[in-house]
Structure formats: C-alpha cells, structure tokens
Amino acid sequence: MNQIVIVDDHAVVLHGLTTALVNHGFSVTASVSTLSQARSAIAAMVPDAVVLDINLPDGTGFDLVKWIRKFNRQLPIVILSLNDSPEYVNAARRCGANAYIVKSAPMEEILATIEFALSTPGSFSSKVRPSKYEVALTAREIDVLSLIEKGFSNAQICEKLHISLSTVKTHVSAIFQKLSVDNRVGAVRAARENGLLT
C-alpha cells in the first residue's frame, strides 16, 4: 500500500483528498498544513509520494520540492494548486516536481496523476494549457513575487526566504524586467493579468 503525505493549508482540501486517497487504496501517513510540519513528516516517515500545495503559511511548495530533492531524487512529488498559470507549471518542472495539477480537476484525474507519478518517478506531467505569454519566471522569482504581493519589503523577503539582500534585489530586478514594469505595484498588476498570481 503506497504511503502518501499531503501538504495543504486548507482543511477542506486535506479532508477531501485524504478521504479520496484512502478510498482508492492509498495510506495517508500524514496530512499537514505547513512547510515545517511537512519536512518533519517526510523526514520521519519517508513516504512513497508527496502531494502538496504551493501557497503555505511559512513558505512555498517550491521550497519543499527543492528541499526534498537535496536528499531524494526519486520521491514522486505532485503539486496540487489553485493556480493554472503555465508559468507555475514551468517553475514546478524546473525545481523537480513530477506533476502539476489544478485543484478544480476531477478527483479521478488527480488520483490518476498521483498513480502516474508513482509508476514513472522520473517523468513530469501536466494538463495545463500552453502559455500565451513569453514571461518565464523561475520558481524563486515566483516566491519573491508572491511576497511582494503581500507587501513584504526586500529586507523581509531576505529574512523569509533565507537569501541575501543582494540576491533579493537581483530577483526583483529580473521580475520587473520580465514583466516590463518599473515598480512593485506594476509587477503585481502585470502578474495578475498574466495569471501568475491568484
């Protein structure tokens, strides 16, 4: 029986997904809502797969994927998100996830995606439509952009993501350039228009 860890900060999603997985024959060894809880659960249980959301209270799903990939290149990781932006899919692929699926997808499709990731851990799958935009933000730039949207200063972003202030400034400059804007308000507006923020 495959053991799954679910990471999502929405109680309804955790409950619904847990029920569906158990009914489908999986074992849900942990259902947690934060990045720190996820790290503890994964380290303690070494599951067969991880299903996670991108937006978490203490970090992002991209951070968790990169953390997992430091010590386990084969663990199947499925990102389940509200955001259907192709840029998020590209970022998920680049940071090492095995699949990206939107929460609005039928439960049968979500289960099939998890099963596919388990059977072919080296693959990447997603049904999100091709991009209409030429914007190509990295996973870290999306992390920075989401914190800009929340009103975080460069110094606060530096502390939150555990990166240097100069690195934050580099990411912010890259975001402005890629979105063709010259300030934070413009960046958030352009990101929303391009479907990069929900």
Q: Which domains does the chain have, with CATH numbers?
A: 3-126 (3.40.50.2300), 139-193 (1.10.10.10)
Under a CB-based contact definition with an 8 Å cutoff, are residues 21 and 113 in contact?
no
Q: What is the pLDDT of residues 153-186, one digit of tens each?
A: 999 999 989 899 999 999 999 999 888 888 999 9
Q: CB-side exposure of 164: number of CA atoms within 13 Å?
A: 3
Give me the percent of the chain exceeding a pLDDT of 70.
96
Q: What is the pLDDT of residues 139-149, one digit of tens each?
A: 889 889 989 99
Q: What is the pLDDT of residues 56-94, one digit of tens each?
A: 988 889 999 999 999 998 999 999 998 888 888 888 988
Whole-angstrom distance, CA of residue 97 vs CA of residue 123: 9
Whether the model clears a pTM of 0.75, i.e. scores above it, the answer is no
Question: Is residue 121 predicted with pLDDT exceeding 90?
Answer: no
